[in-house]
Structure 1
Amino acid sequence: MIKLTNINKYYRQGDQRFHVLHDINLTVDQGEFVAIIGESGSGKSTLINIIGFLDDDFTGTYFYEGQPIHNYTRKQFSRLRNQNVGFVFQNFKLIREATVAENVALPLLYAGHQRREISDRVTAVLDQVGLHGYEDQLPQNMSGGQQQRVSIARAIIGHPHFLIADEPTGALDTETSQEIMDLFKRLNQDEGTMIIMVTHDPHVAAQCERVVKIIDGRVVSDSQGAQDADK
């Protein structure tokens, strides 16, 4: 589904050019649950920005569902992103003054869906993430774990082809982090959702099927995680 070959990424700062990603080769198939792990500054967030069609300024080849997209325009990347990817972030990125239902409905509103259909889909997806009856709550009155569930509901309501989760447990305590990981594993195993997760936490990474480790912009290992080993 995703195939990156010899991906390189450079940043410019003044007259200096920084080489951030070095010849990244990575293939991820439909239904996989992959952790990308590395220390701060390792390049892992830069890599998922490319994978998630947020960054089109790189060299190398990117094939998505068999199509070469590395020469796409920014507008084409934007369309790919809107139609294929759901994003979950460490700091939730919820609109605090909007209700849970309004937050979750945003992707469908942007896509032009009818309000009746949106209401039904919001109810169904909140049930799926364990937030039945929370439609009228405000995020600011909810726990961190509940807010992350709202953000996951928002990410999956449009039935994306894959999810990108950037440090989704980074702001949560250990028990709540495990609850969120259990939810991701259910989505992956029951729904077949492909998930690519960035984390610096080895315990979180070990629960994924694969663990890809990045150091200084290079993939240094690609190994089997505990979830795959338990199958």
Structure 2
Amino acid sequence: MPREAPYLAVADVLRARILAGEWEIGERLPSRARLAEEYRVGRNVMQRAMDRLIIDGLLEGRAGSGTYVRVPRERLRLVRSRHRERRPALLPLLRREGGGRADAWDSHSQVRVPAPEEIAQRLDISPGDLCVNTHYEFLADGHPVQLSESWEPMAITDGTPIVLPEMGPLAGKGVVERMRSIGVVIDTVVEIPRPARATQAQANLLGISVGDLVLQIERTIYDTNGCPVETADMVIPDVRREEVYEFGVDRP
């Protein structure tokens, strides 16, 4: 049997001490140097052990202050489904473990924004082609739980009532309904989830720490001709969500 990595063994011991209540919620732990000396391991081993517990949501690091036992945060279940009740396409159904839901969001759109190269590739347009760029902040009880940045080619929506996702007669109705109103029928949604670490800007908006684990979802929506009509990048804090995908089954 392979021997367990030293930092994982140290993390397990620290986890047991935390769960046993040796340090109270919100209490600062001894310094990494002091704990490394106590366990007779190198500081890099202790650093990795505490980083492991930060990822697991038991600890949180505060710049210039130290490492603290994290206050437990309520996790939300994010159900992504085409079979649930109608809602804006960008907005997942957020369910608390004890019930209830969150369905509020703030947004800010800019028109005639040149598409960066990566976005242009995803939308099958040329770099610099004009788009509508919208930033979303999804809220639960007034607290941010998800960020999203959306891009729509203006070649599709320019001059129509739906050019701005959150204004006009179909404000907030979502990509599927908005596009259908101008004769564009959505056929496929492709999502690519990836683990990542929160940047400074993301941490500031989400109320988490820089480097906290987040889930990034790259989503692109296609019409019946296979043409991309919207692409978005969503960021969800790992400590606050449980991602659930619901799929229908094709019947013969």
Task: Please give the TM-score of this superposition, normalised by the length of structure 2.
Answer: 0.23
Bigger relative CO (Cα 8 Å, ≥ 6 apart): 1
Q: Greater share of strand residues, 1 or 2?
A: 2
**Larger helix proportion of the pair:** 1
Larger radius of gyration: 2
